[in-house]
Each structure stands twice: as structure tokens, then as C-alpha cells.
Chains A and B, each alone.
Chain A
Amino acid sequence: MAFVRSHFSSALAAALIALAPAAAHADKARDTLVYASDTEAENVGPYHNNVREGVIIARHAFDNLIFHDLATGKYQPQLATSWTWVDPQTLDLTIRKGVTFHNGDPLTADDVVFTLNWAVSPEAKVVTKQNVAWIKSAEKIGDDKVRIHLNGPFPAAIEYLSGPVVIYPQKYFEKVGLDGFAKAPIGSGPYKITAVTPGKGVTMEKNTNYWKDSPLGQPSIGKLVFRIIPDQETQLAELMTGGVDWIWRVQADQAKQLEAAPNLTVLAAETMRVGFLQLDAQGASPGSEPLKDPRVRQAIAYAIDRKAMLDNLVRGGARIMNSACFIDQFGCTDKGVPRYDYDPAKAKKLLAEAGYPNGFSIDLYAYREREYAEAVIGYLDAVGIKAKLNFLKYAAMRELSRANKTPITFQTWGSFSVADASAFTGVWFKGDADDRARDQQVTDMLKKADTTVETEARLAAYAEALKVIAERAYLVPLFSYSSNYAFTKDLEFSAQPDELPRFFTARWK
């Protein structure tokens, strides 16, 4: 026995010595930036996911036609060197020459025409229709000229072209198809995607041939590794031990604690993301009967102390939202929109009037920031509404919500970073998959607003629609999100308000 024991303990000692210098996988020395986030895109193709992680990859690996300069608020040439409105429904663009895709194919007007026509075709099954639904078709009208026909006047077109609408390589895409493209996407952006591993993440390398005049600038960091780490505490532990270099959405308490770490930088910034409760006003999902009564929906809005949640849970520059959009988006306003300030007594009264003096039981679905959802449940409990939390992955929650199976859904929406109210209202109220209110009047009002060309009239149209949405309390806007970024001190990184980390502008110190 003694023999066995001594053998075992010496082996253990040897193992421990060998382990002592645990390798760090990410660092400046290896010119590899490892960033972690919790959600995975079901498909890396930019038109086939609606998660933020997918948007980030899209902006790194693909180019837009137009560039929105956040510093000046102006639109600048990107793949399109110039553009002109022929009339409110026709947009002509000149496509830049000399840009190549990552596989060496030149990017031409044909690719632009192909991408747009494909994206609006029903067989493309684009996930967020609002992003392309304004396009009727595209045609080539010259060697480097493209004409986009719109379905109607849509002044926000330029904003969409500078956001979710990115350009695909026609030849390659037609060769590999949608599934092949998801596994090995090719774009023309500052980083090329070198590996997509489902469940694990995405690896990107600097595009050394990125076109010179790009308003995005030239990438500096050699390699980007996106690691999917579902748990926040694992992300934190990895960051503290040097396993990853960059994390975000750090919970406010932790962010405060991390500030003390000598090797880390912590940044807090408001984002365009708005958290809200989507209420099944149609009463289509199981147990959602009470929500058909607008008084019940208003009661829910009154029951929640958004200020306390903001001050104690969210923090970091976030603001209370009263309208169904992000307040800085064009067209978004909360002036003249009814407000539901915290008033549990009023909530109880409304519930009693609606015939629920003792409240009711209901299911609430959520997919992120579990503590926010739990706080909401606590507030609902205080007025007699017993909500049960169903915490799911985003994909599963979206599926259930779109199938009318979720009575209350804790949604968040970052509008694809599009600075136009239509990117919010269009998704949630224009009759598409995510519209649970299905209020034809609201849909018509929004259609009118989206297609109104004259600025003042457009603003007024949105204000009117937002007022109706708030009156009928189809959704309870809570607050904008602040994102706490935490990253290694070696990294020079600046956060933008549109919740889009741009690693192509980041560099090592």
C-alpha cells in the first residue's frame, strides 16, 4: 500500500508543478483579442440572425453601402461613392471600384443588385423583415450604377443602408448556398471570418487587403476571437485570469468591483437597447386573457418602479423610456405620450375595475438580465399579479413569442443600431412576426409615418402613433440599457452609444 501511495503523491506533485504556469490564451503579445459574449447567432449570415453578437460580426466582416459617422451625424460614402434620390421612391448609387471580397473576387454593382434582390425575395427568409421590407427591387443601370426601387417613400432608407444592409458576394453565395455561407461567410469588411464553430464561437483575422479609403479605417489587431460564454461569472473569471480580453454587459455591481482591478479598464455607456415588457394584448397565449383589457395592461405599467430599477440595477447612464422606441432615434419622442409613473395603488384600482381585485397568475418569459425580470415579477407580485418566470435562450423565447405562446415577454431591442424610430416600431407594430398587438390602426399610422418624406410631418406622424401605442399600453417601455464594458488595460477601446463594439478601431497600447 505504501508503494501505491508514494507513487500517487509524487505523480500529483509533478502534475502540480507542471501546471503552475497556466497558459493565458489571449494577449497583446500574440496579437489576438479574445472577446466573450453570452449569446450565439444561429446563423452568422447578417440577414439570418437578430442577435447583437451577429450584428457585431456583420460590421466587422462586411461593408455597407453608406457610412453613418456617429461623431458628426453625417452620412458618408462607403461602398457607394455617391447617391442621389431620383424621386422619393427611387435611389441611385454609384458603386466604388477596386474593392475586393475576402476570396479575391471584385465587389461590383452586380453583387449589390444581387444582395438586395435576394434579401427581399421570400425564399431568402430574412429574419428581420423591417430591415429590407422597404426595398422593392434593385437594378443595374450602368457599369457601376445601381438603382433601388422602394415600395413607397422611405426617408430612413439611407440609415438602413448604413446599418443592417450589408453586401454579399454573388458568385460565392450562389456557389455555396445559404447553409454553406453560414459555415464560411465571405464579405469585404476589415476582418475576414476564418472559422465558425457552432456553440464555441467565431474567429476572424485582419483583412490586410482592406480597401484604403474606407471610412472604417484600417484594422490594427491581428486576430479576433469571439468566444461564446453563456455564464456571466465564467466570463468574469476568464477576464480576471486573462483567458479573455474583453467582456461587456457586466452587471452593474460587478462592474463597480472590477474597477478596483489594476489590470482592467471598466467603461459604462448607455446603449440604444431598450428593455420592455411585451404584453399579449390579443389574449392569444395560454393564460393571457386578462391582458386583453387595456386597464390590466396599464395596471402592469403602473406597478413597476422603473426608477428604482434604473437606480439600483441598471445604472451607468441609462434612462427611463416612456415610448416604444429609443428616445434618441429620429422620430422617437415621449412628448404628449402618456406616462405610467410608479403607482401601485392605482395599479390595484385598475385591476379591480377590470375585474381582478385579487390579481391573477400569469407566465413571464425572459432571456437576459434575469434580475431585471425577477424585479419586475416582484413588483407585479406586490399588486397581486403572480407572475412565474420562464427563463429561456433567446432563440427559444423568440420562437414561443412568435407562435403566440408567451403572455408577458421581457424583450429588449437594440434596433440593429439604426438611429430611426422605424427600426423599433416597424419590428414590433407593423404586423410582422414580432408584432403581438396586431392593431391595424397602429400599423397604418406607422406605415404613414415611415413613408412620409417631409421631416416635420414625419415626426408628427410618429408622435401620434407612439401616443396611441402608449395609451393602449401594448408594451411597457422600461429603460434604455447601459452596457458596462470591462477589458484588459493593454487595449485601447472606445464604446459607442449604438451598442456596437468596433474592434477594427481598437488597438493595443
Chain B
Amino acid sequence: MLAFTLRRLVVALSVAFTVSVIAFALLHLSGDLAITIAGPEASPAQVEEVRHQYGLDRPLPIQYLDWLWHAAHLDFGNSFFFRESVTALISERMPVTMRLGAIALTLSLVVAVPLGVLAAVYRGTAIDRLALSFCVLGQAIPTFCLGLALIIVFAVNLRWLPVSGTATWQSYVLPSVALGWYAIPAVMRLSRNGMLEVLSQDYIRTARAKGLSPTKVVLKHALRNAIIPVVALAAVQFGFMLGGSIVVEAVFSMHGIGHLAWEAISRNDFPVVQAVVLILAGIYITLTFLADVVNALLDPRMRVA
């Protein structure tokens, strides 16, 4: 088990390292940083001064290591637009995205797992077909269309919920639905398949043969085992959701890190962009690493990697 964990850790770290190189490249591809920092009216001499002052005249590998060292200490420099530390900007907005992602994930699990279980238990019936059709249809609706439709119906026409912003907990309801929607098909398919697999297994047949009620069999025995892969997927989905929240945050004008990154991109403010890329990737890598380890703990078959 230790060897497995260590191997996975090495992979996670090397992936993190590669992502950091990409993030660093993103920043340097955005233009001559010295010119951007010095401002459009700076004379060539001033630009050179900035270049030297910020160490931009050193070889790229050195600059990268220096940048990595600071990034590892959560120091991503200053935003070109706000002239404020990127870390401060991000930490202020992080809770919004985290909250949004967590609620959305909970919502999608609450809908998708029961739906998947139902579909498996009633395999081949109308319920199953309905659930699967719902999945196919769900995948075809773009997040932003759903978001706009939710605004029109629930915010503007019914006036139940706020249109935008993050002022109250109500503000999170519509965005979470829009974001969670996106994860439902994957979670549902997985819980359905997991359930189908478990239901065909011997111990379930034994339990049934012993005369236990079908509901009890499903809830007490099958669900517990079928849920393991769903937990792992949930962790991965959470990572995907944080990345996908950019569209939802834009539709609902929520000030999370997705929105921040989007605005930063359209303002050519790449210190912010690379920091968000790095942080989201870091969260994703950590989550999948943990999911692998937890999975391996629960299911020894997986430790052979």
C-alpha cells in the first residue's frame, strides 16, 4: 500500500510540475512582461530598467525556478490591472467558487445517485429508459443556456431567487443547479453501472434468496458497494466543476475565481490567469491523488498498479 501511495505521489508531483511549466509559459507567451509592467508610455530605457528590476533579463530556467519558488509560497506577483497581489485577489474570491462547486456537487449527487440506482434496479423498464434519455438530453444542453433559462424563469418571472451576485445564500441556488446539471449524466451512469454490477453478484443473490425485501437488499447491501466508484468520481467531478464554473460565474456575475480569470484574460492580465490555472490544477491533482489512495484502501484489487 505504501509503495502504491508513493508511486501515485510521484505521478501527482510530476504532473504538478508539468502544469507549472505550462502556467509559466502562458504568462511569458502573453507578451513582453517588461513592456507590460512598465506601461505603454515607458521609454525603452525605462523598460530595460524594469526588465532588470524584475529579473526578466535572466535566463528563462532561472526565472522559472524563481517563479516556482514564489508560487510554492503562494506568491504569484501582482495583477497588471489591479496592481494588487494576485494571492489576495484569489483568496478573496476562492470561497465563492468553492461554495458554488460544493453545492453543485451535492445537488448533482442527490439527483444522480438515486436516479442511477433506480435505473439499475428497474433495468430495462420505462424508468431506466427515462433516466437514460434524461442523461442524453442533459448532456446536450449547454451550461450557459440552462443558466440563462433559469434566470428568466426563476429570477425574472417568478422572482423567487436573485439574478446575480453572491450577496445571500439564495444567490447560490440557480448557479449551483446550472453547474451541477453538467455532472449529473456522468454520476448517474456510473452509479447505474456500479449498481448493475453489484446486483449481479453472488452475495446479493444470497441475500435475496434469504428472503430479504428488495428495498432492503438494495439500500443495505448493494448501495454501499456500488457507491465506492461514485465517491472517487465525485472527487474528480469536483475538480472539473471548479474549472467549469467559469461559464456559470460569468452568466450569474458571481465573483469567484472563474470570473476573475475570465476578466483577467480579456484584460490581458496573465499573472492572475496563470495563478488560477495553477491553483485549479493543483486542487484537481490533489483530489485525484486522494481518490486513488482512498479507492485503493477500499478495494485492494486496485493496488497492483
Could you tell me the distance in whole angstroms from the C-beta of A332 to the nearest C-beta in chain B? 27
A243 touches B162 (CB 8 A): yes
The reply to whether A243 and B114 contact each other, CB–CB distance below 8 Å, is no
B162, A1: Cβ atoms closer than 8 Å: no
A436 at the interface (CB under 8 A from B): no
Q: Is the CB of A395 within 8 A of B267?
A: yes
Does any Cβ of B come within 8 Å of A402's Cβ?
Answer: yes
Tell me how many residues of B have a C-beta within 8 Å of chain A. 43
Is B151's CB under 8 angstroms from A237's CB?
yes
- Structural contact, B84 and A198, CB atoms closer than 8 A: yes
> Does A444 sit at the interface, judged by CB under 8 A?
no
Tell me the smallest distance from the CB of B174 to a CB of chain A, in Å.
11
A191-203 toward B: CB 8 Å interface, digit per residue (1/0)?
0000001111000
Our pick among B160, B163, B173 for the contact of A234 (Cβ within 8 Å) is: B163
**Are the C-beta atoms of B268 and A399 separated by less than 8 Å?**
yes
- B263 contacts chain A at the CB level, 8 A cutoff: yes
CA distance A400 to B30 in the complex (A): 12
CB distance from B257 to the nearest CB of A (A): 10
Q: Is the CB of A199 within 8 A of B255?
A: yes
The chain B residue with its CB closest to the CB of A48 is B83
Chain B, residue nearest A20 (CB): B160
Give Cα distance in the complex from A240 to B151, angstroms.
12
Alpha-carbon separation in the docked complex, A7 to B253 (Å)? 32
- A243 B165 Cβ-Cβ under 8 A: yes
Taking the closest CB of chain A, its distance from the CB of B46, in whole angstroms, is: 10
Task: Tell which of B114, B159, B260, B263 touches A241, judged by Cβ atoms closer than 8 Å.
Answer: B159
Collect the chain A residues with CB atoms within 8 Å of residue B155's CB. Answer: 237, 241
Decide: A199 and B263 in contact? CB cutoff 8 A: yes
Interface string of B135-166 (1 = CB under 8 A from A): 00000000000000001000110011111110
Which residues of chain A are near B83, meaning CB under 8 Å? 42-43, 179, 182
Contact bitstring A303-329, B, C-beta under 8 A = 1, else 0? 000000000000000000000000000
Q: What sequence of 0s and 1s flags, for each residue 368-411 of chain A, a beta carbon within 8 Å of any chain B beta carbon? A: 00000000000000000000000011011001101100000000
* B50 at interface by CB-CB < 8 Å: no
Please give, as numbers and ranges, the residues of chain A lying within 8 Å of B84 by CB-CB distance: 179, 183, 198
Near A by CB (< 8 A), chain B positions 164-191 give 164-165, 167-168, 170, 173
Q: Mark A1-13, 1 if CB is under 8 A from B, else 0.
A: 1111100100000
- A252 contacts chain B at the CB level, 8 A cutoff: no
Cβ contacts under 8 Å, A3 to chain B: 219
Set A199, A393, A399: member contacting B259, Cβ < 8 A = A199
A125 touches B170 (CB 8 A): no
Whether, in the assembled complex, B235 has its beta carbon less than 8 Å from a beta carbon of chain A, the answer is no
Judge whether B167 and A396 touch: CB under 8 Å.
no
| B201 sits at the interface (CB 8 A) | no
Q: Flag if A234 contacts B253 (CB, 8 Å).
A: yes
Q: Which residues of A contact B215 (CB under 8 A)?
A: 1-2
Interface-side segment among A85-93, A223-231, A480-488: A223-231
Binding site for A on B (CB under 8 A): 35-36, 39-41, 81-84, 89, 92-93, 110, 114, 117-118, 121, 151, 155-156, 159-165, 167-168, 170, 173, 215, 218-219, 252-253, 255, 259-260, 263, 266-268
Cross-chain pairs A/B with CB under 8 angstroms, 8 sampled? A3-B219, A8-B114, A22-B162, A227-B165, A237-B163, A241-B155, A241-B162, A243-B165
| Given pairs A198-B82, A241-B156, 4 additional interface contacts (CB within 8 A) | A1-B121, A4-B114, A125-B41, A393-B266
